[in-house]
Structure 1
Amino acid sequence: MNKLSRSIKIIEKHQSPQGAYIASPNFSQYGYCWFRDGSFVAATMARAGKVESAEKFFRWGFQVIADQKPRIEKLLTTPGELITHKDLLPTRYNLNGTLTQDDWPNGQSDGYGTFLWALGKYAPSEFIKENLELIELVVRYLEKVWKIPCYDVWEENPDGIHTSTLLSIAAGLKAAERILHKETGWVEIVNFIERKLVKDGRLRKSTLSDDVDASLIWGAVPFELFSIDDQLVVNTVKAIDEKLYINGGVKRYSADTYFGGGSWILLASNLGQYYAKTGEREKAEFIKEWVEFHFDAEGLPEQVPEFLIDERKYSEWVNQWGEIAKPLLWSHANYMELLLDLKGKA
């Protein structure tokens, strides 16, 4: 069985009966479904021809949103200045769609944008029509809260407005604009990014940091808010390459100390996709080979503990939570996207 087929099997094995994709089945803290991770996985599965799996996740997501409708409607009537990240919808849920019962940071907005983006890209029209009311509700919610500081995609820095979070929301609102045939706020968000979150001709990590973050590549790949030859994207990728790329792997950001700050499979795959799309196939293939080197009998990990930013932190995290998550379904999804790009599959 080739690695594409193995990745599909791993994802299928760890999709719950309700449709949720568990983040990682073997890691103490990842026994939940994140809207962000799950939406990326669903998009990949649909692209790979596993449409039933993707639709099952979409149905799970809509059921969660329907259950949260009273909370969303309350937020829509709350003055923006009174809303904090503690009031936002959670980004992760139990596999059956219920709320988690813990104190782990959970107020994030990017997952719902990513959900709309995946829907717009891959959900069949009849399925979309069945859920127009809930899609419009999510749009109104995101248009209300996108400027509210919240935790970033790495569950950190709740006091900032984060560029990759805004990219995810803008991508979702852009997709919803096509679905609903009416204007949404995605252009306003992109304009905000270009005005407030650019430094030296490249994207900034957030309102709190001028650092580069590897997730910033999402603006072009996969969200296509910017073209791959847009100078802002070119400059951002150059900074990622110079500061975060090492021998095939990619760090999240330069001060990352989670498990010592290793090299992330899913981010390396995103960078490989970028190079595949720009015609730099040799670079893309090198990254693919690096990813596949770390694909073992269990699957692909979240990150690889090599060229660590802070080696002391690696053992601290292992002692606290156990070994690095493996398999991570999001890693498999992004690896599959890279494979499909290299194969030229639309």
Structure 2
Amino acid sequence: MSGESLSLVAHSLDVITRLQSPTGAYPASPTFSAYRGYSWLRDGSFIAEGVSRHGDVAGADAFHAWCARVVGDRAGQVDALVARAARGEAVPVSEMLPTRFTLDGVDGDDDWWDFQLDGYGTWLWALREHVARHGRMVPAVEKGVRATVRYLAAFWHLPCYDWWEEHVEHRHVATLGAVHAGLRAAAGLGVLSAAEEAAAAQAVAGIEALVAREGVADGGHLRKWLGSDAVDGSLLACVEPFGLYPAGHPVGEATVAEVERRLAMEGGVYRFLADTFYGGGRWPLLSGFLGWNHARAGRTAEARRCLEWMAAQATPEGDLPEQVPDLLLAPERRQEWLDRWGPVATPLLWSHGMYLILADELGVRT
């Protein structure tokens, strides 16, 4: 690989480690108006996976410990929500756990699209990957892990916002894939009670049955949400790394092929065809997921092209954005977002985390 690839690996590690909060949280983006001061479990988990692969064990440890504290501090809230649901009460979306927290681990004081389950599942998956890679448990995570499992096992079946914080009325297949992966991962950490293990196993089986029954389109690929024939870039994660349908499975192969056919262009990947956010550009982090899938399936040349496209989107300083402004799906909608929130988030730490993951898959390390 080129020197530019190695340089961007080093810069990505520097950006992430330099911006990590003393609390352990990874800020989504240090300057972007709507993200500043917040950490997402979803973004942070993939960021932690990236640095864990490149030897920043302490940084990943600190993030996972922060997640465990954040959720563990809300264990009483989780148990109250689960008890209400068990009594047949309909728990309002507004009372569910947040999807993002301040860097100090408290709820934000502004409105957000908060009921998202994928981040909780993704955290459990990333924690297990980190623990297995380095052969040691992260201290003091048990309470947070167990509370997360109880939360996901009780509410996995409910509609909620997707990765992109849209469509709370639907059940999204990428969310189900994240929860499925997280509950399987948690069972391997050795901290669950017998009742929690049983609940997790029941939820895993339920997700598998539901997706097989309603989540696969006639073309054999996964759907954006149950009942839709659309596809979404986030579905790539259901193959690699979440393994809902792994790389060798016909549904997994069809999903990657369909996402690439419909959403990939010249190395970049769109979120979905109806996207209008900042005009609907291509997202470097999704190119990372596509490359990850190609790498795991043995398509090394295609994976390298994804890595090279990601690197080409970096600013002269080496920062990777959330999305790029060329070849927009809805260019007439870009200005309204610029007026609302300012320039696209740059750097987006999740983009850098995905670059690190794909670079590692291809053997590119400092």
What amino acid is the match of 2:249? Answer: D
Quick check: 1:83–1:148 contact (8 Å CA) kept in 2?
no
What amino acid is the match of 1:170? Answer: H
* C-alpha distance after superposition, 1:78-120 (max 9, x if no partner): 1255024222210100011011001121111111111111111
Give me the whole-angstrom Cα distance separating, in 2, the residues matched to 1:131 and 1:150.
Answer: 26
Does 1:211 find its partner at 2:230? yes
Give me the whole-angstrom Cα distance separating, in 1, the residues matched to 2:351 and 2:332.
Answer: 25
* C-alpha distance after superposition, 1:15-58 (max 9, x if no partner): 10101000001200111100111111111111111000001011
Which of structures 1 and 2 has the larger relative contact order (alpha carbons within 8 angstroms, sep 6+)? Answer: 2
Q: Which residue of 2 aligns with 1:247?
A: 266
Aligned partner of residue 44 in structure 1, secondary structure: helix
Matches within 5 A, 1:63-102: 63-79=69-85, 82-102=90-110
Matches within 5 A, 1:304-319: 304-319=324-339
Structure 1, 128-137 or 284-293: larger mean CA deviation: 128-137
Q: What is the root-mean-square deviation in Å for CA atoms of aligned residues?
A: 1.7
Q: Which residue of 1 aligns with 2:287?
A: 268
What amino acid is the match of 2:147? Answer: L
Matches within 5 A, 1:262-341: 262-296=281-315, 297=317, 299-341=319-361
Give me the whole-angstrom Cα distance separating, in 1, the residues matched to 2:11 and 2:57.
Answer: 17
Give me the whole-angstrom Cα distance separating, in 2, the residues matched to 1:318 and 1:41.
Answer: 26
Does 1:40 find its partner at 2:46? yes
Using structure 2 for the length normalisation, give the TM-score: 0.90
Q: CA deviation at 1:298?
A: 5.0
Give me the whole-angstrom Cα distance separating, in 1, the residues matched to 2:245 and 2:56.
Answer: 28
Aligned partner of residue 28 in structure 1, secondary structure: coil
Q: CA deviation at 1:224?
A: 2.5
Give me the whole-angstrom Cα distance separating, in 2, the residues matched to 1:265 and 1:173.
Answer: 28
What amino acid is the match of 1:300? Answer: L
Give me the whole-angstrom Cα distance separating, in 1, the residues matched to 2:355 and 2:234.
Answer: 15
Quick check: 1:117–1:176 contact (8 Å CA) kept in 2?
yes
Q: Which residue of 1 aligns with 2:208?
A: 190
Q: CA deviation at 1:168?
A: 0.7
Gaps of 5+ in 2: 1-5
Quick check: 1:260–1:308 contact (8 Å CA) kept in 2?
yes
Quick check: 2:215–2:227 contact (8 Å CA) kept in 1?
no
Question: Relative to 1, partners in 2 of residues 1:312 and 1:30: Cα closer, same or farther, differing over 3 Å?
Answer: same
* C-alpha distance after superposition, 1:271-299 (max 9, x if no partner): 01111222222211222111111112150
Q: Which residue of 2 aligns with 1:7?
A: 12
What amino acid is the match of 2:182? Answer: G
Q: Which residue of 1 aligns with 2:148?
A: 138
Q: Which residue of 1 aligns with 2:164?
A: 154
Structure 1, 103-112 or 74-83: larger mean CA deviation: 74-83
* C-alpha distance after superposition, 1:122-153 (max 9, x if no partner): 13666457433332221111010111111111
Q: Which residue of 2 aligns with 1:18?
A: 23
Aligned partner of residue 93 in structure 1, secondary structure: strand
Give me the whole-angstrom Cα distance separating, in 1, the residues matched to 2:58 and 2:243.
Answer: 25
Using structure 1 for the length normalisation, give the TM-score: 0.95
Give me the whole-angstrom Cα distance separating, in 1, the residues matched to 2:256 and 2:238.
Answer: 11
Q: CA deviation at 1:5?
A: 0.9
Count how many residue pairs are aligned between Structure 1 and Structure 2: 345
Quick check: 2:177–2:238 contact (8 Å CA) kept in 1?
yes
Give me the whole-angstrom Cα distance separating, in 1, the residues matched to 2:147 and 2:70.
Answer: 13
Does 1:172 find its partner at 2:177? no
Match among 49, 58, 65 for residue 52 of structure 1? 58
Quick check: 1:72–1:141 contact (8 Å CA) kept in 2?
yes
Give me the whole-angstrom Cα distance separating, in 2, the residues matched to 1:313 and 1:271.
Answer: 26
Give me the whole-angstrom Cα distance separating, in 2, the residues matched to 1:85 and 1:190.
Answer: 24
Aligned partner of residue 240 in structure 1, secondary structure: helix
Structure 1, 172-181 or 79-88: larger mean CA deviation: 79-88
Give me the whole-angstrom Cα distance separating, in 2, the residues matched to 1:311 and 1:208.
Answer: 29
Aligned partner of residue 105 in structure 1, secondary structure: coil
Match among 241, 245, 256 for residue 275 of structure 2? 256
Provide the identity percentage. Answer: 39
